[in-house]
Structure 1
């Protein structure tokens, strides 16, 4: 190993995960890998986690990260790992499971810790925490079992609110999210959601503007960007396909227009309150709903937002005047130092 390689910070980029968001995790990893390619003093190794939890290199050979903080190849050679970027959307990256393993190994990593990840990935615990922090969120019911008694709560909500969103509680990127307006659709959505999660959230469907904020740590300070806006076609909602498909019909605006100073102030305050109160680290994308009546609801907190060619987080960071490579490189160097 050369003297330069010995001095470089070795970053392990883990992507994939084998879950429903495997492919978009690869695309986020492509973005991060491309950004770090020009970072001086940082050397990157990329592995893809398969559905068995194995790390595979670009040749499909197994790599193993062991308790001595060394990454072992199939040939038995090993190299020390200094820092990890867990670029996995959904399980086990956003759920806190992978972060717990890294905590046990004593390896610093990019993103939120195990507890914050677990809280924010579960839509029900997120709502409970937001309420405790004094942050308004959309009216909801939650179902803890797939039984007739619990389903009756959903039917009551449908009768009261007219149109609902049915959401599997622990899926990301709008996976397991269904918009329903009659009992037949409701029953089908509940059955599908319960196949993905043991808890299901039923939310009131509101006519809203969808606003997104990037909140992240830059040079030791919390930065909250002005909200951007996602404008999905009126005949649909911002589904997994609309978020990530190259042919998405959704339009995004890095800076939302026409918001009052009071609205901007509350969104910034709620974002800071959520970031600090939930003990987030390094980055998050915090999503809000603005109703026609002017009500503002915090919809969800994304502890590892997408970073594809059409994703909002890197666009809002750049619009803030910050370079993503410089941002992540500084976090890496600070953590390793």
Structure 2
């Protein structure tokens, strides 16, 4: 079998730019170089596309932008099936890509925008398609689909900036429906960016203002008391669910810092829940995955209440792939090592090629 040329895409005009650099560095350190020719393609915070030919460590540090880079662009013309690089003398060089792994998180990255570009270009890519990426990224739409699918979620509502013009009646209504505390989240963001906990109306208003800095829609959820568990799902037509893992934050909740920077979280694999409850989590994860039309991969997060009830929290279509990220850890516990997991994801992208 001939070697495949695979593009590893990282960075992005997203609030999760730094997380992408960490995830991509880890993928690049684990991908089978004997099996694939790698094209490293980075997007700066301001949206500039560059092919990178430097050291992987400089990606993680953010110094890649100052290294060996050339302007490069994915071309929507299917005859090319890849990228065009523009040299210093203005000449163009084409490189065909057999597949792309967009190791990118957040808006402009996993929300269907990039996926749409790859679909137009006819390039197979790892992860969900345009529609699924978009609906999973938007927590308002995700909650709506989960409600329709009969999957239990926390009580929830959403608002826009207009609510701040007459805030007190709205806050009173939410307090009557949910009670405090509440969690306030941007509708379109991940890695707990812009997420805050509110224990009174003053904090609620401040949290909504912070969330509005990241998106025009804000989701407000009733706080759920329970264990935070996560399940990784892999596959196209016949998805499989991993071992269930548990997040036990030492901080007040599992925020951005706890996920990627500080050592303030304990991870338990498998989760400290009865096997019957773990099986319910796995079944619900696959049910949610199918209801949201996911393909390739996703990580599905839940709460487990003391009575064993499983409550859907959120889904991530391109979950973190750092060395401490749950998605690869959960499948490693399931029996699929990191490098093999990357192989399977690329295989799933190629399997779905006929759909592009």
Q: Scaled by the length of structure 1, what TM-score is found? A: 0.91
Q: Which of 165, 174, 193 is 2:192 aligned to?
A: 174
Superposed displacement of residue 329, structure 1: 2.1
Per the alignment, residue 84 of structure 2 pairs with 72
Q: CA RMSD in A?
A: 2.0
Superposed displacement of residue 96, structure 1: 0.6
Query: What secondary structure is seen at the aligned counterpart in 1 of 2:314?
Result: strand
2:303 is the alignment partner of 1:289: yes
Contact between 1:85 and 1:110, CA under 8 Å: does it hold in 2?
yes
Structural mapping, 1:238-277, within 5 Å: 238-245=254-261, 247-261=262-276, 263-277=277-291
Gaps of at least 5 residues in structure 2 are: 53-67, 352-356
Distance 1:287 1:176, change over 3 A: same
Query: What secondary structure is seen at the aligned counterpart in 1 of 2:271?
Result: coil
Q: Scaled by the length of structure 2, what TM-score is found? A: 0.86
Q: Deviations over 1:72-96 (max 9, x none)?
A: 2232222211111111100222101
Distance 1:70 1:205, change over 3 A: closer
Q: Deviations over 1:25-53 (max 9, x none)?
A: 011111111121x3433111111112343
2:61 is the alignment partner of 1:49: no
Query: What secondary structure is seen at the aligned counterpart in 2 of 1:196?
Result: coil
Superposed displacement of residue 122, structure 1: 0.9
Q: Tell me, in whole angstroms, the C-alpha distance in 2 between the residues paired with 1:318 and 1:302.
A: 18
Structural mapping, 1:295-334, within 5 Å: 295-333=309-347
Structural mapping, 1:75-224, within 5 Å: 75=87, 76-147=92-163, 148-149=165-166, 152-158=169-175, 160-217=178-235, 221-224=238-241
Superposed displacement of residue 323, structure 1: 2.4
Distance 1:311 1:333, change over 3 A: closer
Gaps of at least 5 residues in structure 1 are: none
For this pair of structures, how many residues does the alignment match? 327
2:34 is the alignment partner of 1:40: yes
Q: Deviations over 1:121-149 (max 9, x none)?
A: 11111100011111000011211343334
